[in-house]
Amino acid sequence: MLEKLNEIESTALASLERVQDEDSLQQWKIAYLGRSAPLMQIFDQMGKLTKEERPLVGRRANEVKRALEAALAERSENMHRLALQRSLQAEKLDVTLPGRPQTLGRLHPATRTLNEITRVFGDMGFQVYRSPEVETDEINFQLLNFAVGHPAREMQDTYFVESSRERGDNPIVMRTHTSPGQIRAMREYAAENPDNPPPVRIILPGMCFRYEQVTVRHEMQFNQVEVLAVGKNITFGDLKGTISEFARRLFGQQVRTRFRASYFPFTEPSAEMDVECFVCGGAGCGVCKGSGWLEIMGCGMVHPVVLRNGGYDPARYSGFAAGMGPERVTMLRHRIEDIRSFWANDLRFLEQF
């Protein structure tokens, strides 16, 4: 009997050594400590032993049982510790490492200039009016006093959506400038009260398209911002005062402006406004090509024909208009030399702003 107990103990302990997972540990427990385990059978057979044998075998059997239970507990704890270690290793997380930087998005430089222009005119009482990018020839040209075949059309090479072959004298075009919005806005305002149309104070921002050979200085798409004020007793003095004040608010209070005579079919008289070069302060540099002045926008008094086409009687109303290119303003401010950078989507360019 005692020998049998020794054997049970050593087989059980040897078998426990080979246990690797929770399942086999349970099986081991049933095999060596369960109801029908050989050790338990020995307890069952105690009654058959002699008086002398009984205490010896009993003590030894209890010893083996305690030894097996202790070994089981230790094995089980070891296995749990190992499993924990393994999972800590596998899911290692170093909370002291610096985080990955989140890159911040930003607005396109042309959009930023556009927003600033909008804000300055907004402060001066002008509202934003939006008009379509696809226009009829009539609204883009004819009602602005560019007759069919007018030489001034040469200034604005045009993309056609539906050609003259399909639509005669009124083809569909991609707008070449934001000026057609003047006609749309005036007509909408005038419709409110045709006998006494309300005053207009608007800016018209938006994309324009021209059939250009793309170069460092020319793009086939670009933004413009049109300015339009129509009302009673509006004079050239109002035009000069308003857009000079605009230039000071955008470029700096010290900036001087000058007006040069020019020509546009839809304004009379027409002018061009220059601002003193904000790079060299007027002394002459590469940006202003030595002249000390930068050409910023075209402007003029709204032509009587255009007023009438918009529904405003030129005998009672007058107005001024102006137009500028935010990309050009952005190029001057940041000394950007290639207009193609605006639409190339090159992050190395865009990330500088």
* Residue closer to ligand DAH, measured from CB, 57 or 299: 299
Work out whether 181 is an interface residue with ligand DAH (CB under 6 A). Answer: no
Give the contacts of 4 (CB within 8 A, at least 6 positions apart): 38, 42
CA dihedral sign, ordered 89, 94, 95, 101 = negative
Residue with tokens 């402006």: 257
Work out whether 179 is an interface residue with ligand DAH (CB under 6 A). Answer: yes
DSSP letter, residue 212: -
Please, what is the minimum distance in Å from the beta carbon of residue 300 to ligand DAH? 4
Work out whether 322 is an interface residue with ligand DAH (CB under 6 A). Answer: yes
Name the pairing type of β-strands 160-162 and 134-136: unpaired
| CB-based closest residue to ligand DAH | 323
Distance CA 271, CA 283 (A): 24
Work out whether 321 is an interface residue with ligand DAH (CB under 6 A). Answer: yes
Work out whether 298 is an interface residue with ligand DAH (CB under 6 A). Answer: yes
Among residues 123, 261, 143, 132, the alpha carbon closest in space to that of 201 is found at: 123
Work out whether 226 is an interface residue with ligand DAH (CB under 6 A). Answer: yes
DSSP letter, residue 277: -
Work out whether 145 is an interface residue with ligand DAH (CB under 6 A). Answer: no
Work out whether 299 is an interface residue with ligand DAH (CB under 6 A). Answer: yes
* Residue closer to ligand DAH, measured from CB, 220 or 279: 220
Work out whether 5 is an interface residue with ligand DAH (CB under 6 A). Answer: no
Distance CA 192, CA 190 (A): 5
* Residue closer to ligand DAH, measured from CB, 15 or 244: 244
Work out whether 300 is an interface residue with ligand DAH (CB under 6 A). Answer: yes
Please, what is the minimum distance in Å from the beta carbon of residue 267 to ligand DAH? 4
Work out whether 242 is an interface residue with ligand DAH (CB under 6 A). Answer: no
Of 13-21, 67-75, 308-316, 319-327: span binding ligand DAH (CB under 6 A): 319-327
Angle at 243 between CA 253 and CA 288, to 5 degrees: 65
In order, the DSSP letters of 296-308 are EEEEEEEPHHHHH
Work out whether 329 is an interface residue with ligand DAH (CB under 6 A). Answer: no
Distance CA 193, CA 199 (A): 11
Residue with tokens 């600033």: 116
Work out whether 206 is an interface residue with ligand DAH (CB under 6 A). Answer: no
Q: How far is CA 237 from CA 56, 244, 249, 330, in A?
A: 126, 10, 18, 27
Of 165-173, 242-250, 279-287, 320-328: span binding ligand DAH (CB under 6 A): 320-328
Work out whether 184 is an interface residue with ligand DAH (CB under 6 A). Answer: no
Which residues of this chain interact with ligand DAH, rule CB under 6 A? 177, 179, 226, 264, 267, 298-300, 321-323
